[in-house]
Structure 1
Amino acid sequence: MSFLQGGEDSQYKGTSNSTSAQNDKVLITIAAIKNELTGINDAVIKDIQTSDELVTIIYFSSLIEKLTLHRTVIFPLLDQKEDLLKSAYVPEKVNLPSVLSSIAEGNTVIYFHSKDLFAIVNTYSPPTSTISNSDTESTVSGPRDSFTQSLQTNLSLIKRRIHNTGLKNRDFRIGTETNTKISVIYIEKIVEENNLTKVINKIDAINYRHFEDISILAQLMEDHQFSPFPQYHITERPDLITSSLIDGRVVIMMDNSNGAMICPSSFLGFFMSPEDYYNRWTTATLLRCIRFFGFFLTIMLTPFYISALSHHPEMLPYEVLKSIYESRSRVPFPPVIEVLFMELVIEVLREAGSRMPTKIGQTIGIVGGIVIGTAAVEAGLVSNILIVLVAISALLSFLRPSFKMSNASRFVRYIFILSAGFFGLYGQMIAFAWLIFHLVNLTSLGTPFMSPVIPRKWTDLLDSIVLAPSSFLKHKKGVASAESKKVLPKDGKE
């Protein structure tokens, strides 16, 4: 709890400019606060008569639970007011905007009329969702909890796993209109200082009006904002955040957002699931290879169909080519138009299914795909072989644990489709060269996006596409190039 002093007879400690102090005194009045809160239906301004004076409390009812308000404000005012005042202090500067900001943050402002004191009590207790499984990052084994939209709850989920006083968190306010609270979390002895400095500098440089989700902050902090690839990994799983902190990275969490951002991130990190470390290393390696090579297969499969039929039919065996041409005998469109038509149909079904209620969306996705696919083949709009390829390509795009990386692969696939339609296999190779060049030149918080492959880190290659047994991972330094720092005694001598 903090106390602010205002009114005409207030004394401001540590303020040299008396004119500015006098202006603040005039502004901080109950009438001024009431005027600013006009039109806010959940703003409560209530007078309470204690045993010796009149007290006014001001708060937003939508941000404060009634039981919390009575326990922390009402009862102490009526029975233990002197104990309440013992923790009071007078800040160097106070003004009306700071008081209004405290009310908007869910605090309760108390005005003691006889003492001419403004007190601010932390009573923020909005309704929050319960801790449950993650819908976007579900696993078979391992912890079942996931982050909620409460920043304090999310911090507690991390501190339940890391019992270390070196775990630090620094709070900031972003958004010129929303004044959203974020927390920068790191482990003091492990974090790379350069990364921490870069994160804080990027946050200080942000000038944006509103933040509804941490994804907006991630886009504003990216080194390459025109890239289709996400450069920061956002997760809802506390176990993944814990391992990232121990790996020396910086984590950013936002109030009212159930995601946490990992800084820096790598391309290979988007293909790794927390469940990999709970399985045998052989199984985890197999699944990682399927996810990684599935990424390149999903962007190459349908473009190769276009290249083979439009420009390089000699690449296919005669029997396969004959079967494809027989299935396309009634299709009036060239392969590139045929592929684009089916890809867009899949996108429409996927988007419609995600926007509908869960039970209806699943039905639309399955039945709609079967009905439209069968009808399109019977009508001669597409070939049945293309239906199979598009379905496989759509399934491969969902192999990645990160949904944002899946969206990136869907976008890149259209670049490969157009390249194959114009130039065939040569266009595909040009698009592939562009993709590799683009990935190599990407950075995440200044760290190479393709680390630990480029630049190569032999210790980290044991936890990349191939996962080595756990006993081999103790020497891993991580993408953040973190290494434990030796702590010297206070006298500076070893």
Structure 2
Amino acid sequence: MKFKLPFNKKQTPIVIQATKENVEMIIPEENNFTQMIKDATHNPSDLIVKSIPPNLTLIYIKNLVNDQILNDHIITNLQNKIYETPETIKLSLSLPEVNISSQLEETVASLVNGSVLIYVEGYSPVVLANIPKRESRSLSAPENESQVIGAQVGFNESLSTNISLVRRNIVSPDLCNEEFKVGKRSNTSLSLIYMNGIASDEMVNTLRQRIKDLDVDALLDSAVLVEMIDDNSLSPFPQMLLTERPDRFCDGLLNGKLGVIVDGSSMAIVCPQSFIEFFESREDKNLRWQVATFVRLLRFTAIFLSIFLTPIYVGALTFHYEVIPQAFLVPLSESRALVPFPPVFEALLLEFIIELLREAGARLPTKIGQTIGIVGGIVIGTAAVQAGITSNILLIIVALSALASFTTPSYTMGNVIRLIRFPIIILAGFWGFFGIMLAFCFILIHLLRQTSLGAPYMAPFYPPRFQDMRDSLIRMPLPYTAKRPSNVRPADEDKFNPEPIKPEKS
């Protein structure tokens, strides 16, 4: 195809021949080149065109380039000097990334990514000096994955900063980093990171192909990418882990998993991920195995209570009075004496109020949000009991269920637990304990059918892998966890040699 630019009667037409291989720019005059770049970028207000006598022109977008490097290393070096060719300019600039291009598409793409175009009058190739300015916040402690023992630094929104955090934790030449551009309009950079010699080549190729096959306008966050490359995007259960902790990210890489970091997002992706691993914390590995096992069992118990405690209350009061201890029937009946609603409506109303308070507290500023959550819960709960809208026993149960849901280390999995509680309560109101068992069987069958990057989602319980169970519900002592998880199909199964650290027999 051909692109034609406006020209005067005294000038010859300027034609850019475009082929599949390259785009040659035939630009005999400075004004025509400048107009071409303005047309390609729709002449934004922050596009700067600066002439440097006698034969140079600089074009850049003001808000995207580093002003100090521009003044100290480019303008100062080019002033009052005559350069005959773009190649001599490239050699004279002491910058890490300087290229020469004759392609219009590549030139414009480089311009909007923070490059300065240096045009030598009469030459078609243009010098591209990449000096981007990336605004990012300073490193801080993770807000959603806090821990007492361990590193206290989290990812931020800068891709280069996040990769440097990973390389600081894993100082190895086997750490592979593949960069991709996703989004026809956003042109977002992302990095696929894995350990060569540990990660499965099949999984690397699968994830690489899924990223390459993406055809979207924009990619603004890693959470959006997860939904696009999931094995089953219709499932409410996450199949890939979103983490803001570099240590947890690196731990996954060293176990043979793959990682993806998206520019502009403070959450990194780790995959494949099993269901049980969403309830494990990185801090578990920093604690003694007895304490870590106790904390994990406490966490799993809390998750069970969060999902089924309220439905069991609804089912028992609606259909199964016989399961309630006789000593408990009198205070329970007195508590519900003034409540005009059936148990299922009462439970749904309270759960809705709790979720409303939780969402309002999360969206408001920190100090106000904490006040709303605490004061609002106390005031509304007390007023609801005194008004006879709900019983004080159900209020305790719902509050306990909400508190137990916060023990989930993964925010995305915590949201799923909040969601599935509502249909289970409804089924318990219609069919009692039979409805609860129906919901449990449906969820279990759904989980057994899921995969994460082709790996079984319910590993190590389905298919059963007894060796991997040493670091699932319980955490065995360190010498017994020397093998990497088999569900990721690692090329190297051994993490370390357990023999030197096994206790000596007396």
Assess same fold via TM > 0.5. yes
| Structure 1 position 31 matched with structure 2 position 32 | no
Report the counterpart of residue 304 of structure 1 in structure 2.
Answer: 312
Gapped regions of structure 1 (runs ≥ 5): 1-7, 487-494
Report the counterpart of residue 50 of structure 2 in structure 1.
Answer: 46
Q: How does 1:95-494 map to 2 (within 5 A)?
A: 95-484=103-492
Change (3 A) 1:248 1:476: closer
> Which stretch has the larger CA shift, 74-83 or 33-42?
74-83
Change (3 A) 1:365 1:64: same
CA shift for structure 1 position 288: 1.1
SS for the counterpart of 2:488 is: coil
Within 1, Cα distance between the matches of 2:65 and 2:301? 50
Report 1 or 2 for greater relative contact order, CA contacts < 8 Å, sequence distance ≥ 6: 1
Change (3 A) 1:79 1:29: closer
Change (3 A) 1:146 1:465: same
Report the counterpart of residue 55 of structure 1 in structure 2.
Answer: 56
Within 1, Cα distance between the matches of 2:292 and 2:62? 50
CA shift for structure 1 position 485: 9.0
CA shift for structure 1 position 358: 0.7
The answer to whether the 8 A contact 1:248-1:478 is kept is no
Within 1, Cα distance between the matches of 2:463 and 2:22? 57
Identity percentage of aligned residues: 37
Within 1, Cα distance between the matches of 2:169 and 2:79? 40
Letter in 1 for 2:129: V
Within 1, Cα distance between the matches of 2:165 and 2:249? 10
The answer to whether the 8 A contact 1:247-1:478 is kept is no
CA shift for structure 1 position 117: 3.1
| Structure 1 position 85 matched with structure 2 position 86 | no
Deviations, residues 215-240 of structure 1 (Å, cap 9, x unaligned): 00000111111111111001011101
Q: TM-score, normalised by structure 2?
A: 0.88
Within 2, Cα distance between the matches of 1:21 and 1:117? 12
The answer to whether the 8 A contact 1:62-1:126 is kept is no
Deviations, residues 55-85 of structure 1 (Å, cap 9, x unaligned): 2222222222312323443234348974633
Within 2, Cα distance between the matches of 1:478 and 1:145? 30
CA shift for structure 1 position 459: 2.6
> Which stretch has the larger CA shift, 77-86 or 303-312?
77-86
SS for the counterpart of 1:36 is: helix
Deviations, residues 81-104 of structure 1 (Å, cap 9, x unaligned): 74633687656xx43222221111
The answer to whether the 8 A contact 2:90-2:99 is kept is no
Change (3 A) 1:485 1:55: farther
CA shift for structure 1 position 346: 0.6
Report the counterpart of residue 5 of structure 1 in structure 2.
Answer: none
Q: TM-score, normalised by structure 1?
A: 0.90
Within 2, Cα distance between the matches of 1:76 and 1:470? 59
The answer to whether the 8 A contact 2:192-2:258 is kept is yes
Change (3 A) 1:89 1:158: closer
Change (3 A) 1:239 1:72: farther
Within 2, Cα distance between the matches of 1:208 and 1:157? 29
Change (3 A) 1:428 1:215: same
SS for the counterpart of 2:132 is: coil
Letter in 2 for 1:84: K
SS for the counterpart of 1:332 is: coil
Change (3 A) 1:154 1:322: same
Within 2, Cα distance between the matches of 1:415 and 1:381? 22
Deviations, residues 245-266 of structure 1 (Å, cap 9, x unaligned): 1111110000001111011111
Deviations, residues 10-53 of structure 1 (Å, cap 9, x unaligned): 9x9xx9x889867653699221111233452322222222xxx3
Within 2, Cα distance between the matches of 1:275 and 1:173? 34
Within 2, Cα distance between the matches of 1:480 and 1:418? 38
Letter in 2 for 1:198: T
> Which stretch has the larger CA shift, 448-457 or 372-381?
448-457
Gapped regions of structure 2 (runs ≥ 5): 1-11, 495-506
> Which stretch has the larger CA shift, 97-106 or 375-384?
97-106
> Which stretch has the larger CA shift, 109-118 or 24-33?
24-33
Within 2, Cα distance between the matches of 1:220 and 1:296? 30
Report the counterpart of residue 65 of structure 1 in structure 2.
Answer: 66
Report the counterpart of residue 499 of structure 2 in structure 1.
Answer: none
Letter in 1 for 2:357: L
Change (3 A) 1:79 1:266: farther
> Which stretch has the larger CA shift, 27-36 or 96-105?
27-36
The answer to whether the 8 A contact 2:381-2:395 is kept is yes
Within 1, Cα distance between the matches of 2:206 and 2:432? 43
Change (3 A) 1:123 1:485: farther
> Which stretch has the larger CA shift, 324-333 or 58-67?
58-67
Deviations, residues 291-328 of structure 1 (Å, cap 9, x unaligned): 22322221100000100000101110122122111111
The answer to whether the 8 A contact 2:279-2:409 is kept is yes
Letter in 2 for 1:350: R
Deviations, residues 261-282 of structure 1 (Å, cap 9, x unaligned): 0111111111111111111111
SS for the counterpart of 1:25 is: coil
Change (3 A) 1:66 1:302: same
Change (3 A) 1:107 1:457: farther
Change (3 A) 1:124 1:386: same
The answer to whether the 8 A contact 1:76-1:84 is kept is no
Letter in 1 for 2:65: I
The answer to whether the 8 A contact 1:57-1:109 is kept is yes
The answer to whether the 8 A contact 1:477-1:483 is kept is no
Change (3 A) 1:35 1:468: same
Within 2, Cα distance between the matches of 1:89 and 1:62? 21
Within 2, Cα distance between the matches of 1:20 and 1:143? 49
Report the aligned-residue RMSD: 2.5
The answer to whether the 8 A contact 2:252-2:270 is kept is yes
The answer to whether the 8 A contact 2:100-2:126 is kept is no
CA shift for structure 1 position 212: 1.6
Change (3 A) 1:71 1:242: farther
